[in-house]
Amino acid sequence: MAGAVGLTRLVVLGATGSIGRQTLEVAQWLGLDVVGLGARRGSADLMQIASQWPQARVVAAESDPVSDDIASELGARLERGPEALAALAATSDTVVVNGVVGAAGLAPSVAALEVGNRLALANKESLVAGGPVVADALARGGGELIPVDSEHSAIWQCLVGEPVDSVRRIILTASGGPFRGRTRAELAAVSIDDALAHPTWAMGPRITVDSATLMNKAFEVIEAHHLFAAGYDTIDVVVHPQSIVHSMVEFCDGSVKAQLGDPDMRHPISYAITYPQRAPAPGEPFVAPGRTLTFEAPDREVFPCLELGYEAGRMGGSAPAVLNASDEIAVAAFLAGRIPFLAIADVVAAALEIVEHRAVATVADVVDVDAEARVVAGEAVARIG
């Protein structure tokens, strides 16, 4: 991989989403060469982005027909299908930013690592559903895996230069979402709009609902386990509504390191691309005076998804993949008005109980578990609805 920031070749997966667009902003700041753009489908948004990066290969993961305008504009540049997306991630000598949403991000993550690329990972499902598979690809290919999520980037930065055996605890911070402080009774009739009103971050609908249930933090616990080889008993979650402290690490001598900053995903994206260097970024400096930082314990009874995440993580094997797939089905059902907010956790719990627990060693294993869990979760939704 090119050592100088200005020479880095970049592949951006999920280019039309929030992470992808912010990555392309960072690419412009840093003068990077974007050589690949991947998205879920061939859309007007993808066409517009591709026009800004005329030398980049363009891939749409879905093989659906595209409009005449898109076909005419992109022509032979547009490749389609999940295999093409994985092949794009395997472009040699590149930094691959994986901002794909959902389990479709696993195969590109594996492909990037197998050829020795740096993978700047923003796709939660890669580690949640396929942690052992990703670890194997990393070991075989000799690539690099650097997190993009603000919490895991914070932990990564806190750990730089520290001996692994000096870590006592990893402390993930959570905003608490829009329902922080509410009782279960108060959550019984919350609306879709209520759940989508995140107090800090502007994100897609699924991750916003996951933040409201604390399932997003459950996923991050599992990710932290894989990223930092941390036991689940050494990973804590603390609610920090200001979202200024992005996460913390406590060391064996009692010292605690924290990484702070205004909420801006472009910063961890830039760090994942340029590590171990730091590149200058536009924007105003952080202002400390007048800030009040507060912390509180999460309410695990009101938000049972967090405990389900720890349970699935400790089970290992197929359980985290079941957790992820069933949550996706449950959240989609909630957003469609088919189940109430509190039933999301019920659907996930049912899937974890019903789907047979087994080992996962390949992408195909994860795909099989994912498909089975979706069927089981769909049946649970039907029973509730």
For the stretch 172-187, pLDDT in tens is: 999 999 999 999 999 9
Tens of pLDDT, residues 234-268: 999 999 999 999 999 999 999 999 999 998 999 99
Distance (Å, whole) CA 161 – CA 142:
21
Residue 199, CB-side half-sphere exposure with 13 Å CA sphere? 14
Q: What is the pLDDT of residue 67?
A: 63
Q: What is the pLDDT of residue 300?
A: 96
Q: Do residues 324 and 127 touch, judged by C-beta distance below 8 A?
A: no
Domains by residue range for the chain, with CATH: 5-147 (3.40.50.720), 186-213+301-385 (1.10.1740.10)
Question: Which three-class secondary structure string do you get for the chain?
Answer: CCCCHHHCEEEEECCCCHHHHHHHHHHHHHCCEEEEEEECCCCHHHHHHHHHCCCCEEEECCCCCCCHHHHHHHHHHEEECHHHHHHHHCCCCCEEEECCCCHHHHHHHHHHHHCCCEEEECCHHHHHHHHHHHHHHHHHHCCEEEECCHHHHHHHHHHCCCCHHHEEEEEEEECCCCCCCCCHHHHCCCCHHHHCCCCCCCCCHHHHHHHHHCHHHHHHHHHHHHHHCCCHHHEEEEECCCCCEEEEEEECCCCEEEEECCCCCHHHHHHHHHCCCCCCCCCCCCCCCCCCCCCECCCCCCCCHHHHHHHHHHHCCCHHHHHHHHHHHHHHHHHCCCCCCCHHHHHHHHHHHHCCCCCCCCHHHHHHHHHHHHHHHHHHHHHHC
pLDDT by residue, tens only, the chain of 385 residues: 434 454 589 999 999 999 999 999 999 999 999 999 999 988 889 999 999 999 999 999 987 776 667 767 777 788 989 999 999 999 999 999 999 988 889 999 999 999 999 999 999 999 999 999 999 999 999 999 999 999 999 999 999 999 999 999 999 999 999 999 999 999 999 999 999 988 776 677 888 999 999 999 999 999 999 999 999 999 999 999 999 999 999 999 999 999 999 989 999 999 999 999 999 888 889 999 999 999 999 999 999 999 999 999 999 999 999 999 999 999 999 999 999 999 999 999 999 999 999 999 999 999 999 999 999 999 999 999 7
Q: What is the pLDDT of residue 64?
A: 73
